[in-house]
Structure 1
Amino acid sequence: MIEAIVVKQFPCGYFTNMKYIFEAIKKDNQYNWLITDYECNYYPDDLIKPNEDYIWLDNESLVRIVENNDIQFIWGVFSGFPKNISKKKILENNLPYANGYDGFWSLETNIQHPLAEVELVSWDSSLFLAISKNKKIITDIQKNFFHTESLKEYVDE
């Protein structure tokens, strides 16, 4: 079953600083990450460059980057994949996107990439969405962010 929430407030005064998300899910996060359709306030690391179609990072590299930098992801889709799925297999499918994707605002929200287990979305620096097959990730985010609601309720408002 897919769980989906909206985070309405971040502790740093602006939305979508992924440091706080990865602090919340660090214990249960054993994924490789495909980052697509992203735009940042700055690009602090050679592993996250502007104007690329995608970024492919193991969990340890991504956590190191977001923990050591205050990067605001204005736009971006972080798709989490089990480590046994190859990058080659993942890239055989369409890349997920945030800007212009209407599927978020449907009552039947799904993860865009068919092989992903989690989708974390920075949406126009004003909203953060977490969609996951792993309920523990949703629960960990809810424990660390007091202003959340189900995406279904948010869409239905």
Structure 2
Amino acid sequence: MKGVILRKGESGYSYFSGVFSAIFPAVVERNWLITGYENYPEALEPYGGNLGREAFFWVPGERLEEIVRQQDYPWYWGVLSGFKREVPLHQVISYGLPYADGYTGFWKNPISIQHPMADIEIVAWDSALTLLISRDEAIAQAFRNAYPRSEDLETYNLGEPESEEWRKIWEEAELYYGDGAKGE
């Protein structure tokens, strides 16, 4: 399992056409569950059989790639979970649906994919960064090759500052949210 965070060096962080190009053909080889989304391409249509659950999309990879290529603008939030084609939707939705806003698991090691049956997870996080987590390290490496300023997510989570910029981000977060260790 390998994770990557893209948070610097780009003019936008949740435009997925570049991400899809970087990890091609992984996108078209899978079906995609899209959940916890905000500001998504209009051509996507929520799955009609949501069975009383929050709305989600279930999209073949070819269709998703086509839609994103035609309508490439930033997703604010969203989790795109990729599944091998033989995994049926009824098994996928028997688990909780992945989400981005408020999910703290991204920032803990060992990294993991939220949905136990998925093998890739692409996350738009407040349109401020993109996360990619994959069971196939070659996919994560392809992403890193396409985005040289991306970082290894496990290293990022260890809190080993790569720069003064990183330290400032965490200091600002502590001022805003308080020190969780003090029980505030």
Shared fold (TM-score greater than 0.5)?
A: yes
Shift of 1:9: 3.5
Match of 1:76 in 2: 78
Deviation per CA, 1:56-94: give whole Å up to 9, x if none: 100000000011112211100000000000011101000
Q: Aligned residue for 1:34?
A: 33
Aligned to 1:142: 144
**Partner letter of residue 77 of structure 1?**
V
Structure with the greater alpha carbon radius of gyration = 2
Provide the residue aligned with 2:133 in structure 1: 131
Q: Do the aligned partners of 2:4 and 2:132 also contact (CA within 8 Å) in 1? A: yes
CA distance, structure 2, for counterparts of residue 24 and residue 10 of structure 1: 16
Amino acid at match of 1:24: A
Task: Note if 1:96 corresponds to 2:98.
Answer: yes
Aligned to 1:24, what secondary structure does the other structure show? Answer: helix
Task: Please say if 1:4 is aligned against 2:3.
Answer: yes
Q: 1:70 to 1:48 in 2, by over 3 A?
A: farther
Distance in 2 between residues matched to 1:81 and 1:122, nearest whole Å: 18
Where 2:17 maps in the other structure, the secondary structure is: helix
Q: Distance in 2 between matches of 1:46 and 1:3?
A: 28
Q: Distance in 2 between matches of 1:99 and 1:36?
A: 11
Partner residue in 2 for 1:118 = 120
Greater relative contact order, per chain length (Cα 8 Å cut-off, separation 6+): 1
For residues 105 and 27 of structure 1, the distance between their equivalents in structure 2, rounded to whole angstroms, comes to 28
Matched position secondary structure for 2:24: helix
Deviating above 3 A after TM superposition, structure 1's stretches of 4 or more consecutive aligned residues are none
Q: Distance in 2 between matches of 1:96 and 1:146?
A: 27
Q: Quick one: which amino acid aligns to residue 127 of structure 1? A: L
Deviation string for 1:108-155 (max 9, x for gaps)?
121110100011111011111111101121011111111111111111
The equivalent position to 1:44 in structure 2, one of 35, 42, 46, is 42
Query: TM-score by structure 2 length?
Result: 0.77
- Report the 3-state secondary structure (helix = DSSP H, G, I; strand = E; otherwise coil) of the residue aligned with 1:89: helix
Listed one character per residue, the Cα deviations across residues 15-65 of structure 1 (whole Å, up to 9, x for unaligned) are: 10011111111123311000100111x64315369xx62111000000000
Structure with more strand by fraction: 1
* Runs of at least 5 residues in structure 2 that lack an aligned partner in the other structure: 48-53, 160-184
Across the aligned residues of Structure 1 and Structure 2, the Cα RMSD in angstroms comes to 1.7
Kept in 2, the 8 Å contact 1:31–1:82? The answer is yes
Tell me, in whole angstroms, the C-alpha distance in 1 between the residues paired with 2:46 and 2:147: 26
In the other structure, the counterpart of 1:19 is: 17
Superposition deviation, residue 99 in structure 1: 0.5
From the superposition, tell whether residues 133 and 18 of structure 1 become closer, same or farther in structure 2 (CA, over 3 Å).
same
1:35–1:78 contact (8 Å) kept in structure 2? yes
